């Protein structure tokens, strides 16, 4: 474990020009057996460098969430290889992958996924609890993160007392607070109206440009994807197009 | 880290007060039952022990018996010569109190009262630890001549005389007119419901001559002197009486010798076993309470699937989730245990008070209850906790 994260940490400290942050090499993901077999991913290869902002698009069932789950070390490929910060994720066990999520990955979900009956501040502190940070450090960093998403005045509101847009900001603060290398967002604006969606996207854009956080974001909508310079389109478990705006 | 998880668990329990109370209820009731039953058992044992000590710890009862072969039908009674022989011939004795008694009617004015009439000597008060509230013992003269005098218990006094000073008053005992010369201090009811104060005493000789018309002695009570071996006294009594009553070698005794302290030991044994038995039944309800924790924790794990998914996604290790649920279950058990102990002790005070039994809480059983309720929390919380920690984060996040 230590060796693996050590490798990853070294990669992170290196200039990073030679090794991409993320590298998918002919990744396959198969669900079920025999007649019920579904090829959710059918040989997907791509690389993503540090600091990129990528929109992942495609029809329903094309494999976007599957890709994001594997990227987030929540799942492993059935075949092929996924290298994250130089480490072959498919060789890691559950605990090691949990460690990668804890240290280097932040998640934002369509359904916000905040803990109920828990204040904004406590929600943002949660990942730091598992990192073993002190209560004082947690509180300080959670406040900073909430300030970054513009919710400094909502610290002690519980999630049920916040609007959808505000809940998603808390979720972004929670993803942000551990200083992750990558934020993965699966349809983060799917439950928001157009105005809130654009507010959230401006926030992502800002985090990417000012804090240089790598962001991978799944969306169905072109105007949401437009915030990202790079667009990857999936079709039937393969990459149909991968374009970066000049 | 673990302190933080404890805080997480406490917050979760606090946020769901109703669920917390319902989950702990089984443990609360189980612990309560154990505490109440064991405390009551202790109280009864202490009460009965005290009563036996009131009779006199090293007291030996000797009475004639018929349980031997040929002359089974006839019980040969003792008489005063046997008593004198015991006084002279058995070492290690402090007092010997011969007595005879039966149910009898006493009359004062137009008040009738049925009581127990006993003929004995002044030793009777010593071996049975009776204290005088007023008046005096029998004189040597009254004893030797069989004078019509009597000493009454409090119940007899209350019934016949009310609050009136009974000393010097004449009552009729069966057919004998008797002067009251003493009043015994009350001992109260025994656990078995006997009223010890409902009795009347007269000199043995008076009883023999005037009431029953024979010279029999029904019971000889022997108090073992301090520091003497009761068994040696019993052996001495047995060989003396066998010889006096001409029991042939090899035949069983035609009298019986019973020792109060031995009897007390037996009663204590039985009560101890009963307390343990009842406590064990209550312990089963504690186990059922533990299973209750498991049930609700399992439901809770399902209910909180999405929460568990979130925790796993943002970096919780499986062991973090395992510990959170385990600690939650342990705190539930412990809280239930503490609540059960407090309520159990409270109710024990109430019940022992109502029953007039001493309240004797046992530290051992309290510690036992606390330890086992926490332990059951862990044992029965382990399976739900394991299940929670093994959830697949992707599926857990998708769970509605
Ligand atoms: N746990 C699973 N078991 C079986 N099949 C699955 C599972 N998860 C995903 N699939 C299948 O894999 C394929 C890709 O699913 P995925 O969730 O990646 O699609 P998506 O692009 O995210 O779609 P959407 O836009 O609807 O979210 C689909 O056909 C889906 O039915
Ligand atoms: Mg999807």
Chain A positions touching B307 (Cβ under 8 A) are 115-116
Judged by DSSP in three states, B284 sits in: helix
Work out the average pLDDT over A160-171: 93
Which atom of ligand 1 lies at the shortest distance from residue B394's CA?
1
Q: Which residues have C-beta under 5 Å from ligand 2, the single-atom ion?
A: A 65
Q: For residue B342, what are the contacts with CB-CB under 8 A and spacing of at least 6?
A: none
pLDDT at A216 over 90: yes
Distance A41 CA to ligand 1 centre (A): 9
The answer to whether residues A176 and A123 touch, using CB atoms and an 8 Å cutoff, is: no
Atom 4 (ligand 1) nearest CA = A31
Work out the average pLDDT over A210-231: 95
Helix spans in A152-215 (H)? 164-176, 194-211
- Interval A59-103: pLDDT, tens: 999 999 999 999 999 999 999 999 999 899 999 999 999 999 999
Considering every ligand atom shown, identify the ligand nearest to the alpha carbon of residue A57 and give its number. Answer: 1
Burial (0-12, 13-18, 19+ Cβ within 10 Å), B382: middle
Distance CA(B390)–CA(B348), nearest Å, equals: 44
The pLDDT value recorded for residue A177 is: 95
3-state helix, strand, coil in chain B (%, to 5): 60, 20, 25
Work out the average pLDDT over A135-164: 93
Distance CA(A13)–CA(A234), nearest Å, equals: 32
Distance CA(B64)–CA(B190), nearest Å, equals: 26
DSSP-assigned letters across all residues of A56-92: EEESTTSSHHHHHHHHTTSS--SEEEEEETTEEGGGS
Most ligand 1 atoms within 8 A of CB, residue of A36, A39, A40, A218 to mutate = A40
The pLDDT value recorded for residue A8 is: 46
Which atom of ligand 1 lies at the shortest distance from residue A220's CA?
25
pLDDT at A11 over 50: no
Smallest Cα distance from B16 to chain A, Å: 9
Distance CA(B373)–CA(B380), nearest Å, equals: 10
CATH number at residue A125: 3.40.50.300
The pLDDT value recorded for residue B229 is: 84
Per the structure, how many domains does chain A have? 1
Residue with tokens 């290398």: A181
The rounded average pLDDT for each run of 10 residues, N- to C-terminus, in chain B (400 residues) is 78 83 89 91 85 72 73 76 91 91 91 93 86 93 93 93 91 92 84 80 94 91 85 91 88 86 77 85 86 87 91 92 90 92 95 90 89 89 92 89
Smallest Cα distance from A188 to chain B, Å: 14
The answer to whether residues B85 and B98 touch, using CB atoms and an 8 Å cutoff, is: no
Between the CA of residue A123 and those of A8, A58, A117, A182, B25, what are the distances in Å?
Answer: 27, 31, 10, 19, 31
Ligand 1 lined by A59 (C-beta under 6 Å): no
Ligand 1 lined by A130 (C-beta under 6 Å): no
Q: For residue B52, what are the contacts with CB-CB under 8 A and spacing of at least 6?
A: B260, B261, B263, B264, B267
CB nearest A107 (choices: B314, B319, B320): B314
The pLDDT value recorded for residue B203 is: 95
Ligand 1 lined by A33 (C-beta under 6 Å): no
Distance CA(B371)–CA(B358), nearest Å, equals: 26
Q: For residue B187, what are the contacts with CB-CB under 8 A and spacing of at least 6?
A: B54, B130, B196, B197
The pLDDT value recorded for residue B282 is: 83
Asked whether the beta carbons of residue A116 and residue B307 sit closer than 8 angstroms, the reply is yes
Asked whether the beta carbons of residue A94 and residue B318 sit closer than 8 angstroms, the reply is yes
CB nearest A74 (choices: B15, B306, B313): B313
Considering every ligand atom shown, identify the ligand nearest to the alpha carbon of residue A37 and give its number. Answer: 1
Distance CA(A235)–CA(A41), nearest Å, equals: 10
Considering every ligand atom shown, identify the ligand nearest to the alpha carbon of residue A67 and give its number. Answer: 1
CB nearest B316 (choices: A109, A130, A175): A130
What single-letter DSSP state applies at residue A133? -
Phi then psi dihedrals of residue B339, to 5 deg: -60, -45
Enter the tokens of residue B372. 């086992």
Give residue A180's domain range. Answer: 2-244
Average pLDDT, chain A: 90
The pLDDT value recorded for residue A82 is: 96
pLDDT at A7 over 70: no
Out of A235-239, A242-246, B261-265, pick the least confident: B261-265
CB nearest A127 (choices: B15, B309, B315): B315
Q: For residue A111, what are the contacts with CB-CB under 8 A and spacing of at least 6?
A: A191
Residue with tokens 């007390």: B264
Nearest to A47 by CA among A18, A9, A8, A73: A18
Enter the tokens of residue A158. 């519980």
Asked whether the beta carbons of residue A107 and residue B307 sit closer than 8 angstroms, the reply is no
Q: Cα–Cα–Cα angle for B137, B139, B144, nearest 5°?
A: 130
The pLDDT value recorded for residue B399 is: 85
Instruction: Provide ipTM, 2 decimals.
Output: 0.89
DSSP-assigned letters across all residues of B198-228: SEEEEEHHHIIIIII-S--B-EEEEEEPTT-
Q: For residue B90, what are the contacts with CB-CB under 8 A and spacing of at least 6?
A: B222, B233, B236, B237, B240
Nearest to A56 by CA among A245, A223, A234, A189: A234
Strand partners, A58: A234
Strand B59-64 and strand B132-135: the pairing is: unpaired
Q: Does the pTM of the predicted model rise above 0.80?
A: no
Smallest Cα distance from A231 to chain B, Å: 25
């Amino acid at each position: 474990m230590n060796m693996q994260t050590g490798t990853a940490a070294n990669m992170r400290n290196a200039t990073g020009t030679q090794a991409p942050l993320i590298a998918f090499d002919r990744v396959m993901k198969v669900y079920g057996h025999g007649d019920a077999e579904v090829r959710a991913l059918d040989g997907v290869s791509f690389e993503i460098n540090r600091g990129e902002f990528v929109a992942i698009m495609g029809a329903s069932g094309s494999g976007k969430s599957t890709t994001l789950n594997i990227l987030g070390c929540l799942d492993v490929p059935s075949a092929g290889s996924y290298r994250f910060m130089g480490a072959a994720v498919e060789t890691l066990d559950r605990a090691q992958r949990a460690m990668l999520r804890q240290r280097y990955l932040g998640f934002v979900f369509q359904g916000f996924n905040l803990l109920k009956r828990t204040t904004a501040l406590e929600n943002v502190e949660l990942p730091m609890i598992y990192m073993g940070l002190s209560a004082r450090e947690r509180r300080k960093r959670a406040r900073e993160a909430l300030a970054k998403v513009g919710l400094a005045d909502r610290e002690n509101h519980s999630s049920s007392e916040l609007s959808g847009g505000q809940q998603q900001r808390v979720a972004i603060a929670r993803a942000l607070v551990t200083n992750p290398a990558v934020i993965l967002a699966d349809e983060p604006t799917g439950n928001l109206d157009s105005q809130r969606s654009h507010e959230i996207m401006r926030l992502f854009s800002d985090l990417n440009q000012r804090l240089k956080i790598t962001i991978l974001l799944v969306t169905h909508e072109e105007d949401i994807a437009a915030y990202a310079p790079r667009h990857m389109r999936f079709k039937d478990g393969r990459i149909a197009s991968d374009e970066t705006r000049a | 880290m673990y302190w933080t998880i404890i805080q997480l668990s406490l917050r979760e329990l606090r946020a769901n007060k109703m669920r917390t109370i319902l989950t702990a209820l089984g443990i609360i009731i189980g612990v309560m039952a154990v505490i109440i039953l064991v405390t009551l058992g202790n109280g009864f044992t202490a009460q009965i022990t005290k009563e036996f000590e009131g009779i006199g710890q090293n007291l030996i009862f000797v009475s004639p018996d018929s349980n031997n072969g040929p002359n089974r039908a006839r019980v040969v009674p003792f008489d005063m010569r046997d008593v004198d022989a015991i006084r002279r011939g058995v070492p290690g004795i402090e007092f010997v109190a011969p007595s005879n008694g039966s149910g009898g009617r006493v009359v004062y004015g137009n008040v009738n009262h049925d009581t127990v009439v006993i003929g004995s000597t002044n030793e009777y008060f010593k071996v049975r630890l009776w204290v005088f509230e007023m008046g005096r013992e029998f004189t040597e003269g009254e004893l030797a001549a069989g004078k019509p005098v009597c000493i009454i218990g409090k119940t007899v006094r209350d019934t016949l005389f009310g609050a009136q000073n009974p000393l010097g008053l004449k009552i009729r005992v069966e057919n004998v007119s008797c002067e009251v010369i003493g009043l015994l201090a009350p001992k109260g009811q025994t656990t078995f419901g006997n009223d010890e104060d409902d009795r009347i005493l007269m000199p043995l000789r008076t009883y023999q001559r005037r009431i029953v018309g024979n010279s029999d002695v029904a019971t000889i009570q022997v108090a073992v002197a301090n520091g003497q071996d009761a068994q040696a006294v019993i052996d001495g009594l047995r060989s003396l009486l066998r010889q006096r009553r001409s029991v042939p070698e090899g035949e069983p005794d035609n009298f019986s010798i019973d020792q109060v302290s031995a009897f007390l030991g037996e009663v204590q044994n039985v009560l101890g076993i009963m307390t343990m038995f009842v406590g064990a039944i209550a312990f089963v309800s504690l186990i059922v309470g533990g299973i209750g924790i498991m049930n609700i924790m399992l439901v809770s794990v399902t209910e909180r699937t999405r929460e568990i998914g979130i925790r796993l996604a943002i970096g919780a290790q499986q062991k973090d989730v395992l510990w959170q649920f385990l600690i939650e279950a342990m705190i539930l058990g412990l809280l239930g245990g503490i609540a059960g102990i407090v309520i159990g002790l409270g109710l024990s005070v109430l019940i022992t008070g109502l029953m007039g039994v001493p309240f004797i809480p046992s530290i051992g059983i309290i510690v036992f209850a606390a330890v086992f309720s926490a332990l059951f929390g862990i044992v029965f919380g382990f399976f739900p906790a394991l299940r929670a920690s093994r959830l697949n984060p992707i599926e857990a996040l998708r769970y509605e």
